[in-house]
Amino acid sequence: MTMHLAELNVGRLIAPPGDPRVKDFMDNLDLINGLGKRMPGFVWMMEGSGEPGTGNTETKIGGDPQLVSNLTVWKDVKSLERFVWGTIHKRFYERRADWFEVLGEMHFVMWWVPEGHQPTLEDALARLEMRRQHGDSEEAFGWDWLKDAEMHISHACRSAA
């Protein structure tokens, strides 16, 4: 069975989506998401309403309008790495402190899914909680768990961040 790589990234904006403090982020969601969808190895992305400039920010976690998520599936780790750190996405990743609060807990998780499977946000949040509670495992892991991952070593935020 062919397996694909799912990832969930959760962040809390420093202000509500319509606030000028997060305008640069919101104004570039369509550009970055569109680029991701055209990347070799991209499989699927959890979508929002489709309204321009909103991405998936309408999907609130716990009813918090500032707690936003990105849930995608990729053919392999190399494809995801190329998008995250080998495209213009890297510039926005490097500016995350301009738009997002530093969370006091882990906010990123990956796991393998069967080809064709589209994970739900609920499943993804359960995987994130699994990683928070038990650390990296076959069911929920970060970049360091993946032997094929290389670009994160020089580009990713450290666990203390």
The DSSP line for 45-64 is: E------TT-TTTTS-BTTB
Query: How far apart, in whole angstroms, are the C-alpha atoms of residue 1 and residue 118?
Result: 16
Cross-strand partners of 114: 3
Check residue 146 and give its pLDDT. Answer: 82
Check residue 160 and give its pLDDT. Answer: 37
| pTM score over 0.85 | yes
Check residue 155 and give its pLDDT. Answer: 57
Token reading at 99: 């738009």
**Predicted confidence (pLDDT) per residue in 117-127, tens digit:** 999 999 999 99
Provide mean pLDDT across the span 90-97.
91
**Predicted confidence (pLDDT) per residue in 36-93, tens digit:** 999 999 999 998 645 555 555 666 788 888 998 999 999 999 999 999 989 999 999 8
Q: How far is CA 27 from CA 18, 63, 135, in A?
A: 10, 23, 35
Q: What is the CATH T-level fold of the domain 3-155, as seen in this structure? A: Alpha-Beta Plaits (3.30.70)
The DSSP line for 88-129 is: THHHHHHTHHHHBPPPSS--EEEEEEETT----HHHHHHHHH
Check residue 22 and give its pLDDT. Answer: 95
The distance from CA 154 to its chain's CA centroid, rounded to whole angstroms, is 18
Model confidence at 30: pLDDT above 70: yes
Cross-strand partners of 159: none
Q: What pLDDT band is residue 158 in, cutting at 50, 70 and 90?
A: very low
Strands 42-45, 67-74: pairing is antiparallel
The answer to whether 128 touches 140, Cβ cutoff 8 Å, is yes
Query: How far apart, in whole angstroms, are the C-alpha atoms of residue 157 and residue 84?
Result: 12
Check residue 62 and give its pLDDT. Answer: 84
Check residue 5 and give its pLDDT. Answer: 98
> What region, left, alpha or beta, does residue 2 occupy, with left being phi > 0 and alpha being psi -120 to 50 degrees?
beta
